[in-house]
């Protein structure tokens, strides 16, 4: 299912303007797995410590985002179509109010997928869960360590075999971006980010360039 969206060229900008009190249009019933492709921007410098549409105090360091129509509390995966990096965020605000853009990320997730410098980037937004499907329960993120991403499956499998003896839950995950296939090597699933950071530190000591991401 593809969420309807109208695209247009937008001037490059790091931040978007958010009219106070403006309501988002009704998005209707949203299914898990629904996807939307379009332009993302990021915001948070001026808005830091203000209140988001959800009533929460906005933090540029939180893994949150603004969307025009998804229900507040919806959890989505945002993938940078240029470099394949992805991040999971919770919708807690409304916007972006710039024609042609579909989502506004706070600073931290924008940095995580490598889009801060360019300001805008094409992304895929995938709905993971909504408040109704979770019964209003708090979203508990899981953290994993991404060791590498390859355009050849064989190289990913070779690295997996090298890591299997030293680390638990080493896996290869495939993804298609703009018609090209990539294979990511990831290690572990952790509820506590500190545990993921410890695994990442050990992998760096072993000579791997890694990053901790939310699943």
Fold of the domain built from segment(s) 35-134: Barwin-like endoglucanases (2.40.40)
The domain spans of the chain are: 35-134, 143-214
pTM of the model: 0.58
> Which backbone phi and psi does 92 adopt, to 5 degrees?
-130, 10
Tokens of 199: 């695994």
Contact 107, 45 (CB under 8 A): yes
According to DSSP, the residues that pair with 143 across neighbouring strands are: 190, 214
According to DSSP, the residues that pair with 105 across neighbouring strands are: 42, 65
Fold of the domain built from segment(s) 143-214: Alpha-Beta Plaits (3.30.70)
Sequence-separated (6 or more) residues with CB below 8 Å from residue 140: 191
Question: pLDDT tens per residue, the chain (215 residues)?
Answer: 444 443 333 333 333 334 433 333 333 445 677 899 999 999 987 766 677 888 788 888 888 999 998 988 899 999 999 999 999 999 989 989 899 999 999 999 999 999 999 999 999 999 998 876 655 555 556 788 989 989 899 999 999 999 998 999 999 988 877 678 889 999 998 888 889 899 999 999 999 988 887 76
DSSP SS3 for 33? coil
């Amino acid at each position: 299912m593809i969420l309807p969206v109208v695209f247009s060229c937008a001037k490059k900008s790091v931040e978007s303007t958010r009219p106070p009190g403006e309501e988002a249009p009704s998005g209707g019933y949203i299914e898990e797995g629904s996807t939307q492709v379009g332009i993302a921007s990021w915001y948070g410098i001026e808005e830091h410590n203000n209140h988001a549409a959800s009533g929460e105090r906005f933090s540029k360091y939180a893994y949150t985002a603004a969307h025009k129509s998804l229900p507040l509390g919806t959890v989505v995966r945002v993938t940078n179509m240029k470099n394949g990096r992805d991040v999971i965020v919770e919708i807690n605000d409304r916007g972006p109010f710039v024609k042609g853009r579909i989502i506004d990320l706070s600073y931290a997730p924008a940095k995580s997928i490598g889009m801060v410098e360019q300001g805008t980037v094409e992304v895929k937004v995938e709905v993971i869960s909504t408040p109704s499907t979770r019964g209003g329960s708090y979203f508990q993120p899981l953290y994993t360590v991404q060791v590498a991403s390859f355009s050849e499956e064989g190289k990913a499998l070779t690295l997996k075999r090298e890591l299997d003896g030293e680390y638990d839950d080493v896996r290869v995950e495939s993804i298609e971006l703009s018609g090209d296939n990539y294979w990511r090597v990831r290690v572990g699933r952790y509820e506590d980010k500190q545990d993921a950071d410890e695994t990442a530190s050990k992998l760096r000591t072993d000579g791997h360039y890694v990053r901790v991401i939310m699943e």
